[in-house]
Amino acid sequence: MRIGTYYYPEQWPRDQWERDFDRIASMGLQIVHMAEFAWFSMEPRAGVFKFDWLDEAIDLAAKRNLEIILCTPTAAPPVWLAQDYPDSLLKDDAGTRARFGGRRHYSPMSSAMRNATRRIVTEMAERYGDHPSVIGWQIDNEYSGPFDQNQETHQAFRDWLQRKYKTIDALNNAWGCQFWNTYYTGFAQVMLPKDRDPRYANPHHHLDASRFWSWAWADFNRLQAKLLRPYIGDRFVTTNFMPFHLDANPADMAEDLTLFAWDCYPVTGWEKNIIDQTYRLANPNMIGLVHDHMASFNGRWAQLELQPGQVNWSGVPVLLFPGAVRLWLWTCFAHGAEFVTTYRFRQPNFGTELFHHGLMNPDGVTMSEGGKQFVRVIDELRSIEDRGSRIEDGKSGASRPQSSILNPPSSLPAVGLLFDFDQLWYFKTLPQARKWDQPVWLQSWYGALARSGLQIRIIHPDRPWPDDLKMIVAPSVQMLDETLVKRLSDYAGDGGNLILTCRTGLMDRSGQLWRGLVGKPILPLIGTNITAYDGLPDDLWGSVEMDGKEYPWQVWGDLLEPSNEVEVLARYADQFYRGAIAGTRRVHHKGVVSYCGVYAEPSFVDAFVEKIARDANLPITILPPRVHLLERDGLKILLNYQDAAVEAPAPEGSQFLLGSKSVEPAGVVIWKEN
């Protein structure tokens, strides 16, 4: 795994470049990103290019054997574009245009923006596409923006709908337009909504708007990827996603990106009910889930930005727990990252992010605390390699056989977690239970699987699944179709262990309820009817009982009425329906299907997974809270996200390559088993 940093030569005096590149190289960093946001510096006037500075910076980096990731600068269009083409600026519902003076002010559907993009990206690709030091390309930066209200975007939405539905009658049906008689008679009448909240308007319309908006960013990304491809050989193409960010579904870019990447800023100070110091260390389930999501497309993934210290934007400038940055770097390693880079090398002395830490303090020469931890990990990686452990960098990912991409070899039992991004949009648009938080719910299940020492693979409804999954958990796949039901049913029927949860299979893919029993398509699988559901007011907690223990719940609870051959796993312990069934399990041909009817607190989800895994005789290892165990290249890696010491479950005779059996707070241990 290589480690590097973003560097913005155009932001610093020319006479400091050599010093900075020397420092980057001497710290052992191997990768620099350049040109992100530097559109104006490369094209100060439309069609007038100025690359001498970038030539020189690339040269300085190459001379120091640094690998270079070039970024297309489209996240920050220059002033001349905004001035000459006001339609390229995002427009809100009141008709107000975004202002020039920051970034992300453009519409991805603007033809002026797209023409200007073609010009700058082609120039860059022609000039640097086959540069031997350039290893890959990052397109844009963190695709996101409010639903644009320019005419070109409305038209693009209409075209997208017409491709999807063909006829306006089909759209009226899919959107249930008989409700309040909101029929359309032509696609030209349809508008892109202003946001995801339908208020009293049509939720199906808003669901399609989310899908379209993600398609729009993906289409803009495709434009750039296609321009780059003829010039760059087999260098990777990537972009940096934000975690669970609703504007861009990474799956929509699966055909255009050859490496998936995200930006990880896990300490924000936004936690509630804080009881210890772990909020300075972040939530390992969030980080692990997003890492594994990135790895789930083609096996190649990287961390593009990794929080190096305090940030400027969270409003709570939490000082990180000692060792946090090092722990995050090793977490990337454990999940198979090809490389990790950080935003940014130097803390700026100016601009909106002047309080944002970098690897260097504002003097440009003193290493920050985060910088020191980067250097430490670089040294530790080297020393592990020097001691004879070969660490794959994953670079050959694209040419590895499909089976090992989906499921890299590991001695830990592999399990699948179904993550269908499409569901996030509808939960947002039509939450029904205000406290329903699908990303948090997914993290609960992720955490429960990780706690049992299982190796988690993120699986998608419509992409190949690894064939050796010992268990699949599908949390609240609310909208589904026959194909997915059959896939899940075949998995269980062939001997798999399937866990479904409340709010699974309630609707078709347009987000309409079935004309039938609640959860109709999954009823034959779970063998129980769902007769009612409950959600509790803010300060009221219900209790659910399993194996003689009670657990709190609040967000959602299905009341179940199973048939005779179904085993009852959990019951509600209070409310007027005390004793009603909350969880079940049944044999399905050669396999087992369990149903967790309650969106409960993580303690219940942990116990549910542990029970199912134990009864299935999976070789699980119950880990302490906030501790994850992973495997990479035959090495076991234990990550301690606690603010207290823990014991590593390394068997007698293990060879420790980093740390020892007793793991310090925020510590990492790596060992080999014989």
SS3 599: strand
Rg (CA), the chain: 26
Neighbours of 367 (CB within 10 A): 16
138 touches 36 (CB < 8 A): yes
Shortest CB 307 distance to ligand GAL, Å: 7
H/E stretch holding 521 reads none
Bridge partners (DSSP) of residue 459 are 418
Non-local (6+) Cβ contacts of 402 within 8 A are 464
Read off the DSSP letter of residue 69: E
Shortest CB 343 distance to ligand GAL, Å: 5
Nearer to ligand GAL by C-beta: 343 or 608?
Answer: 343
Q: What angle do CA 171, 175, 178 make, to 5 degrees?
A: 100
Shortest CB 139 distance to ligand GAL, Å: 13
Nearer to ligand GAL by C-beta: 261 or 605?
Answer: 261
Nearer to ligand GAL by C-beta: 12 or 608?
Answer: 12
Shortest CB 446 distance to ligand GAL, Å: 23
Encoded amino acid at 428, one letter? K
Of 20, 142, 152, 219, which lies in the binding site for ligand GAL, with binding defined by CB under 6 A? Answer: 142
- Taking CB under 6 A as the criterion, which residues in 490-529 touch ligand GAL? none
Nearer to ligand GAL by C-beta: 8 or 445?
Answer: 8
Q: How far apart are alpha carbons 387 and 375 in whole angstroms?
A: 18
Nearer to ligand GAL by C-beta: 142 or 256?
Answer: 142
Nearer to ligand GAL by C-beta: 353 or 601?
Answer: 353
* Pairing of the two strands 301-306 and 528-534: unpaired
Question: Which residue is listed with tokens 């390309």?
Answer: 137
Which residue is nearest to ligand GAL, using beta carbons? 142
Site membership for ligand GAL, residue 141 (CB under 6 A)? yes
Q: How far apart are alpha carbons 575 and 556 in whole angstroms?
A: 13
Shortest CB 453 distance to ligand GAL, Å: 33
Shortest CB 533 distance to ligand GAL, Å: 37
Site membership for ligand GAL, residue 311 (CB under 6 A)? yes
Q: Which segments of 259-354 are extended strands (E)?
A: 260-264, 301-306, 339-342
Shortest CB 245 distance to ligand GAL, Å: 10
- For residue 22 the two structure tokens come to 């020397």
Encoded amino acid at 671, one letter? W
Site membership for ligand GAL, residue 64 (CB under 6 A)? no
Shortest CB 240 distance to ligand GAL, Å: 6
Shortest CB 244 distance to ligand GAL, Å: 14
61 touches 34 (CB < 8 A): yes
Shortest CB 305 distance to ligand GAL, Å: 6
Nearer to ligand GAL by C-beta: 306 or 650?
Answer: 306
Site membership for ligand GAL, residue 545 (CB under 6 A)? no
Nearer to ligand GAL by C-beta: 324 or 581?
Answer: 324
Nearer to ligand GAL by C-beta: 73 or 284?
Answer: 73
Site membership for ligand GAL, residue 247 (CB under 6 A)? no
Neighbours of 265 (CB within 10 A): 17
Q: Which of 197, 285, 272, 600 is nearest to 436 (CA)?
A: 600
The size of the chain, in residues, is 674
Of 305, 369, 380, 558, which lies in the binding site for ligand GAL, with binding defined by CB under 6 A? Answer: 305
Non-local (6+) Cβ contacts of 143 within 8 A are 108, 217, 220, 221, 239, 241, 247, 248
Encoded amino acid at 109, one letter? M
Using CA atoms in the order 297, 491, 545, 532, what is the torsion angle rounded to 10 degrees?
A: 90
Between the alpha carbon of residue 670 and those of residues 126, 192, 306, 663, the distances in Å are: 44, 51, 21, 10
Of 12, 160, 330, 343, which lies in the binding site for ligand GAL, with binding defined by CB under 6 A? Answer: 343
Q: What angle do CA 462, 463, 468 make, to 5 degrees?
A: 120
Of 140, 263, 338, 558, which lies in the binding site for ligand GAL, with binding defined by CB under 6 A? Answer: 263
Nearer to ligand GAL by C-beta: 141 or 298?
Answer: 141
Nearer to ligand GAL by C-beta: 57 or 267?
Answer: 267
Nearer to ligand GAL by C-beta: 3 or 168?
Answer: 3
42 touches 56 (CB < 8 A): no
Between the alpha carbon of residue 273 and those of residues 85, 270, 278, 279, 292, the distances in Å are: 49, 10, 12, 10, 28
Shortest CB 103 distance to ligand GAL, Å: 8
Nearer to ligand GAL by C-beta: 40 or 231?
Answer: 40
Binding residues for ligand GAL, rule CB under 6 A, total 10
Site membership for ligand GAL, residue 356 (CB under 6 A)? yes
Of 40, 51, 265, 656, which lies in the binding site for ligand GAL, with binding defined by CB under 6 A? Answer: 265
Shortest CB 142 distance to ligand GAL, Å: 5
SS3 472: strand
Neighbours of 243 (CB within 10 A): 17
* Strands ordered across the beta sheet of 67-71: 236-238, 134-138, 67-71, 31-34, 2-6, 339-342, 301-306, 260-264, 240-241
- For residue 95 the two structure tokens come to 């008709």
Shortest CB 311 distance to ligand GAL, Å: 5
Site membership for ligand GAL, residue 140 (CB under 6 A)? no
The residue range among 227-235, 305-313, 438-446, 516-524 that interacts with ligand GAL, by the rule CB under 6 A, is: 305-313
Nearer to ligand GAL by C-beta: 279 or 533?
Answer: 279
* Bond preceding residue 346 cis, omega within 30 of 0: no
Shortest CB 286 distance to ligand GAL, Å: 16
Nearer to ligand GAL by C-beta: 141 or 249?
Answer: 141
- Taking CB under 6 A as the criterion, which residues in 564-603 touch ligand GAL? none
* Pairing of the two strands 591-596 and 635-640: unpaired
x-marked contacts with ligand GAL along 88-127 as a string, rule CB under 6 A: ----------------------------------------
Shortest CB 36 distance to ligand GAL, Å: 7
| Residues making contact with ligand GAL (CB under 6 A) | 141-142, 263, 265, 305, 311, 313, 343, 353, 356
